Structures are given as structure tokens and as C-alpha cells.
Amino acid sequence: MNRFEVCIDVTNPDVVRPFWQMALGYEPVEVADGAVILKDPAGIGATVWFQRVPEAKDTKNRVHLDVWPGSESDVRILAAKLTELGGSGLREFDDFIVFADPEGNELCLIWEELDSPEH
């Protein structure tokens, strides 16, 4: 199996990183070049890092993360916390919410266990 990381393009990593830290339950880790990445405290999930880019996001994401925080109640609690960190709910469906970070990068918060989500 190949190792991989998830890279999120952002104009301001310091604004976006707390959103993703909360969404994923990851911990910030400073790396050698002074950048701060997010790591899974269990050591299982992919590392997330933030690439500073000059341009703002202007189209729909072609790739996004699906996150299963637990029950619908758990999703709504997390959604409220993410809103406090500058995120916003974009669309809601029967079993998930499409959410955006402060710069518009998307993820789905899902409360139904699905084998192969089509979000």
C-alpha cells in the first residue's frame, strides 16, 4: 500500500487549519520548515498539510473528504463548532451536510454509515 497525504490549497493556513483540526480530530505538528501540518493522533489517517497559494478558490471542489463524526446529533454539534471557526453549511441532504471551510474548500459531514458514499 502506498502512503499518501492530503494537501489543501489555501491563501491563509492559520485561518483554515483550526477548521480542519476540529473537523478531523487531528493534532497540529510543526515540521522542520516551520509549517504546521495536521496528524491523526492514532497514527492511522493521512497527514493533512496546507499549501499556501495566491489565488482564492473559485470553483467546486473536484475532490473532497467525507467525515463520519457519529450520529446525526454528533454531526450537528460538530457543524456548530465548525461554523464558529468560520465554516458554513452549503447544502443538506437526508444523511449528510456539505460544509465549507473559511476559504470554501468542501467536505461532507455524514451521519449514516454507508459502504460507498456517493457525495
For the segment 38-73, what is each residue's pLDDT rounded down to a tens digit?
A: 999 999 999 999 999 988 888 888 889 999 999 999
pLDDT at 57: 86
CA 48, 3, 110, 92 torsion-angle sign = positive
Which residues does 93 contact at the CB level (< 8 Å), separation at least 6? 119
Strand order in the sheet with 27-30: 5-10, 47-52, 36-39, 27-30
Mean of all residue pLDDT scores within the chain: 91
* Spatial distance between the Cα atoms of 81 and 75, rounded to a whole number of angstroms: 10
Global pTM value: 0.89
Report, at the CATH architecture level, how domain 5-53+64-110 is classified: Roll (3.10)
